[in-house]
Structure 1
Amino acid sequence: MALIGKWWWRFKTKTTSLWVKVISSIYGSSGGLLLDDSFRIDSYKSVWNEILKTGNNFNALGLPFRSFFVKDLGDGEATSFWKDVWIGNEVLKDKFKRLSRFDNDINASVKDRVIWDGAKGAGNWSWAREPFERAKDELEGLTKLISGAVLHPEKKDAWRWALGTNGLFTTKALTDMINSGLLTSSDSNCETLRNKLVPKKVEVFVWRARKLRLPVLVELDKRGIDLHSVRCPLCDEDIETVNNSLILCKHVFAVWSKVFDWWGRGGIPFINVGDLFLDTGRANSYRRKIIWQAVGWVCSYLIWKNRNQKVLTNKSWNVPITLNEIQVKSFEWIAKRCKSQVIDWHNWIYNPQIFI
């Protein structure tokens, strides 16, 4: 989502590029990125159409994606008065809904609608009819708001990314915002779990797995994707569900058996992902519980990663190599984040029970 969202930034800032001119000729000067251009999303089937739909995906997470693009005013000529975020933190069309309907030109620029005398801004209105009732009240609020506008006639308008410290778009900042939106999404049947000893990407994976939102073959088939088979790509003995891909497949179960042997534990106590991610072993303190839970989360994350490599690149499934990767990655992530206890490599490999 973050990488696709970056194309919004590129469209807004690479105005002289040929591809931007092509998109503008099809979708209009705004490229279909403005809220009132949403009708175009269903009118065209193209790669750019999918990029536009990303805005709706951000809305679904409660992230005001469009408001992250802010105009730094110069002369106001390239900034839409009603449709761009240029004063305050939202577009004036949304803040003054009734009043915007009275304007003769909803696409008017800031330069068209604001008179700058060097000290403060004043309205330069062009009404289709004179505002009345509530619209008149909105006009008073708008007039007061734009009196604080500052224009710089000597320079051109420019875009600024609100999440960036230097005003430039960064995929990392947007990714962090997306992860925050994912992990705080509420679901009455699936409480969000957190573990401070694993990276955010592992937490997101756990959230997706518990909600059965991993792209296993059965789920892809439900969505109408034409597949040769929905049987497990590792064992070919059962259909591939989330539970099968992370626990029940005999090749995956063999990995879990090795992990439990490594930690000196008995039989595997779970058969579904709900119990898997809640398992805290026999630990008797919060610190020890989250260490074992983190090991389980890392193990399931790497099992899924290796499953994908098998499906996408036909890489052979190797239990010892997978176990070794789990040992290395779990140590790397957990030891780095565990502030209350020193975790050394030798004990982690040969005597990990002391940590739980």
Structure 2
Amino acid sequence: MAEMANLGWGEGGEAWGWQRRLLAWEEESVRECSAMLSNVVLQDHIQDFWRWLLDPIHGYTVRGTYRFLTSDAEPVVEGVQKNVWHKLVPSKVALFVWRLLQDKVPTRANLVRRNVIQPNGILCAGGCGNIETADHLFLGCNLFGSVWYLICNWLGICYVPSCQLSDHFLQFSNMASMPRFSHTFFKVIWLASIWAIWKDRNNCIFKNAVIDPQIILEKVKRDSFFWLYSNRISLAFGFHDWWRHPLLCLDVK
């Protein structure tokens, strides 16, 4: 760590050396890692030590851990975060969503809180003029949030969505009136939607790309189909049928 800090672990620093050209998603991961490390300060003559965040004063105890795991104050741990780990989606996507549901991804609100960027840079990348929190970016933004309306039209469903990510995930992936076997597919579509929104948000910031919710929808269709197909999930129809009639492909009528 000290050697990396000396070389410079900011974006473009000498600490980042690679034997091959990075893929686009790998470059994105490096930027996120660099943003998290930018707020880390190493101090000479101070020994490293483990710190138990649930109880920084007294440290780890079995009793304290048991209380945390069984407390009603943290229902999201078991009900949501555990469910994002799914064999049908790439591990990098599951990891991102797991961090997202803990509000650990580098939204502008989080970057301001960590003193990575200035407070005047806190507004949403969608240009709506609101603070870019995770809930707002993915659900409340007029631009990025409109993707969910398009997804519902594509699926042919209608429901009143939650404005909180954890509730939205549970609501969407356990869609009422749909057969239980279809819930896995709705979960895959939700994860693909979150991933597509985040990638286009980053393209908007780092590459000055123009955001088009319809194009994000097309990426959701593409990614969800190929994630299912690559895991040998038997779909009743081919790619173009999935593009137009996903519920028929899932045998949901």
TM-score above 0.5, yes or no: yes
Alpha-carbon contact 1:258-1:323 (below 8 Å) kept: yes
Are 2:230 and 1:229 aligned? no
State the 1:342 CA deviation: 4.6
* Superposition misfits of 4+ residues, deviation over 4 angstroms: 340-343
One-letter amino acid of the counterpart of residue 97, structure 2 = V
Equivalent residue, structure 1, for 2:193: 299
Structure showing greater relative contact order (alpha-carbon pairs closer than 8 Å, 6 or more residues apart): 2
Structure 2: give runs of 5+ residues left out of the alignment. Answer: 5-41, 53-67
Distance 2:135 2:109 in 1: 11
Aligned to 1:265: 157
CA–CA separation in structure 2 for the residues paired with 1:284 and 1:267: 16
CA 1:268 to 1:343, structure 2 compared with 1: closer, same or farther past 3 Å? farther
Identity, % of aligned positions: 24
Deviates more, 1:310-319 or 1:341-350: 341-350
Q: Kindly indicate whether the alpha-carbon contact (under 8 Å) linking 1:255 and 1:322 is maintained by their aligned counterparts in 2.
A: yes
CA contact (8 A) 1:230 1:240 kept: yes
Q: Deviations over 1:261-305 (max 9, x none)?
A: 0000113522111022222223322x3111011101110111011
Give the conservation status (yes or no) of the 8 Å contact 2:192–2:224: yes
- Segments of 5+ residues of structure 1 without an aligned counterpart are 5-40, 45-52, 61-186
Match of 1:21 in 2: none
**How many angstroms apart in 2 are the aligned matches of 1:220 and 1:42?**
22
Structure 2 counterpart of 1:346, from 237, 240, 249: 240
**Equivalent position to 1:251, from 143, 146, 150:** 143
Deviation at residue 253 of structure 1 after TM alignment = 1.9
Which residue number corresponds to residue 13 of structure 2? none
When normalised by structure 2's length, the TM-score is 0.64
Cα deviation, residue 343, structure 1: 5.1
- Counterparts of residues 102-181 of structure 1 (less than 5 Å): none
Partner of 1:320: 214
- Rg comparison, structure with higher value: 1
The answer as to whether partners of 1:243 and 1:271 remain within 8 angstroms in 2 is yes
Residue of structure 2 aligned with 1:198, choices 72, 89, 97: 89
Q: CA-atom RMSD, angstroms? A: 2.8
Q: Which residue of 2 aligns with 1:109?
A: none
Distance 2:232 2:140 in 1: 31
**Which TM-score applies when normalising by structure 1?**
0.46
Q: Equivalents in 2 of 1:254, 1:346: separation in Å?
A: 23
Provide the rounded CA distance (Å) in 1 between the counterparts of 2:108 and 2:160: 25
Kindly provide the amino acid, as one letter, of the partner of residue 43 in structure 1. Answer: D
Structure 1 residue 237: Cα displacement: 2.4
Does the alignment pair 1:336 with 2:230? Answer: yes
Q: How far 1:43 moved relative to its partner?
A: 2.1
**One-letter identity of the residue aligned with 1:288:** S
